[in-house]
Structure 1
Amino acid sequence: MWIQWIVVYCIILTVYGQTISDYKTLIRQLSNNYDNSVRPVVDQSQPVSLSIALDLLAIQEFDEVLEKFSVAAVIYIRWRDPSMKWESSTYNNLHTIMIPKSKVWTPTIIVKNSFDTVKPIGDDWMKIRYYKNGDAVYIAGNVFKTTCAVDVTFYPYDAQTCNITLISWPEIANEITISAYEDNILNSHFSENGEWEVTSTSVTTGTIEKLSTIDFTIKLKRRPIFILVNFLLPVFFIGILNIMSSI
């Protein structure tokens, strides 16, 4: 539900018609004495609570030989920053603002089972959306390339299970905790793949070597008709043509 609220607040923003002066005044006030190296929690003995969701857009590639699984997806990360709260009535009913990621505290989240070089999700030019109650939402879209163990015993009627495992880094579990916003992966914007059918998804959280983790599991089933149409039939017809040409 909180993902839908992002759209609602954007609509509210246009209705009230805040000015650039309202923005500048609020950002200047929020930035006063703000330190982006300090975790956004009043009691520093307590962890920052992250809520994470993944919206699956498309399966880009599944290379069984390299055991590489690539998907286009959007990651939603939400937390609360007590230093970023304000009274909207003081700023012409300004309910939400966006601030560059590099200027505020943001969690460092990496893909643990990345097929390529491991690096944090998102870039410094991206922005964090804040709401008047201190809620922060970070949205990062990307093509996530992960490793995936493949079992082709029953090819072309095989089923595979692949994961996207995210971990917080370098904060340990008593500094950052991760919870799943949904029990399953979001798929309202998903584009079907011709070769693979997504049969189910699940989301679990835990810890690995004292680091908070969230694991997005995607179960796939191969569409055998894809193999028939794209590989077997062309080979069959080429064979027929070769036989006919030799007669």
Structure 2
Amino acid sequence: MQTEISTEEARTRKFRQRPHNRYWWYKLADTDYVPPVFGYLSDEEWSIIDQWHTESGEQFENPGEVAVPGISMLLGLVGGNGVCRIVQCGHYAGYSTLLLGFMLRRMGKPHSLFSIDIDPSITEYTKSWVERAGLSDYVHLEVSDSADPSLPQKAEQYLSGKPQLVFIDSSHQYAHTLRELDLWYEALPVGGLCMLHDVSEYARSFDASGEGGVKTALNEWVERNGVQSFSMNGFVTNSSPDDLVYRDGCGLGLLQKV
């Protein structure tokens, strides 16, 4: 007897058929299902995300979104712990910003995401989607260098407190990441968390300066400051997710202020 597929179950099935590499997760042999980060969305919220995928794919060769493994970890951390003061370093076209905004709205936490990007035009693009999604009361978009020393004070004013979580996914450059770590670790309260995307061996290649990217910066920074960190897939040397448990070959780093 054939079971009818619900609207929620059908949401991302079409992504398996799309050729762009941004849809790699949906084409894995064991991921023929809708991930929870999309399944919990209302129909209206899913419509926004669906439209965003279509339009951003037409406008940008690489919209730069965090893949399903990374955004699942981030949203699980936020939603599972009531985290409501978040700084995002690098929002680009707005994928993770929208999904964080939806989670924070579901939690009833206005003024909870302070998101930074250095590109004014891409921030205008992201702002248009934040407004379409009705998230303006939950998300503030700041055009700035995410290592600007004036930002922690601005973020604290908007969030009404020190950030509980800082998510770094910006330039991927070694020297810039060091400055971000210096700045935002100091801004965290005791127990606050910093999550970094692109901490793998493979992701070193994202650093145009050739200095080792986020991985080298994180390793040197924690050693110099006596801080413990954990890197998922830090050892990975290519982007293939086939033999990985945490499927994103770019890796994810986490450190806590103690």
Scaled by the length of structure 2, the TM-score of the pair is 0.24
Greater RCO, CA 8 A, separation 6+: 1
Task: Report the structure number with the largest CA radius of gyration.
Answer: 1
| Structure in which a larger fraction of residues adopt helix | 2
Scaled by the length of structure 1, the TM-score of the pair is 0.25
| Structure in which a larger fraction of residues adopt strand | 1
